[in-house]
Amino acid sequence: MEVRSALFVSALAGLLITAASAMAEPDCAGRASATRLTVQVSQLSSAVGKVVVTLYPSNPRRFLAPRGKLLRLRVKAVTPMTRACFNLPGPDVYAVAVYHDANANEDFDRNRLGMPTEGFGFSNDAPTQFGLPSFESARFVAQPGDNTLRVRMRYQR
């Protein structure tokens, strides 16, 4: 009888841990997995609109390409830090692009010259001095378990 009780308690504890971890990150995009990524976006100009976080897979040709994304989340802008969570297919190389959709029109707005009028950022704070960053400059390795990536929002003035 003691063995049954111990098995029951062990099974119940496992269920509670699973439920607690599911509740801890209820807005994780993607199919549940053992590899998760939390993106922390800082330096937003305001808590207005949405922050759009796009995750790209390890194929450099898909980075910033139309229909190249693996997953995308649109989350409410929160200052001082906005968070987005992704369940990743597994440990691998990924890249992230972020923009502050302040007017919530689901588009990355630009002026007549093509310059961004909304904030943006990339994993590794990849440089954008002469155009879009390369996949190599934005790539990062996600390990098994929980991963955290910090992205600093930039605004063209």
Tens digits of residue pLDDT in 59-111: 999 999 999 999 999 999 999 999 999 999 999 999 999 999 999 999 999 99
Q: What is the mean pLDDT of residues 17-27?
A: 45
Q: How many CB atoms lie within 10 A of CB 20?
A: 9
Q: Do residues 108 and 60 lie in contact, with contact meaning Cβ atoms separated by under 8 Å?
A: no
pLDDT of residue 24: 42
What is each CA distance from 146 to 28, 71, 85, 111, 143, in whole angstroms? Answer: 12, 17, 10, 38, 8
Average confidence score pLDDT of the chain: 86
Closest to 92 in 3D by CA, of 138, 30, 143, 135: 143
Q: Do residues 150 and 121 lie in contact, with contact meaning Cβ atoms separated by under 8 Å?
A: no
Q: What is the pTM for the complete model shown?
A: 0.81
pLDDT of residue 26: 54
Q: Which amino acid is at 118?
A: E
pLDDT of residue 123: 97
Burial class (CB in 10 A: 0-12, 13-18, 19+), 75: middle
Q: What is the mean pLDDT of residues 137-151?
A: 97
What is each CA distance from 52 to 21, 34, 92, in whole angstroms? Answer: 24, 24, 22
The answer for residues whose C-beta is within 8 angstroms of residue 90's C-beta and 6 or more apart is 33, 34, 35, 144
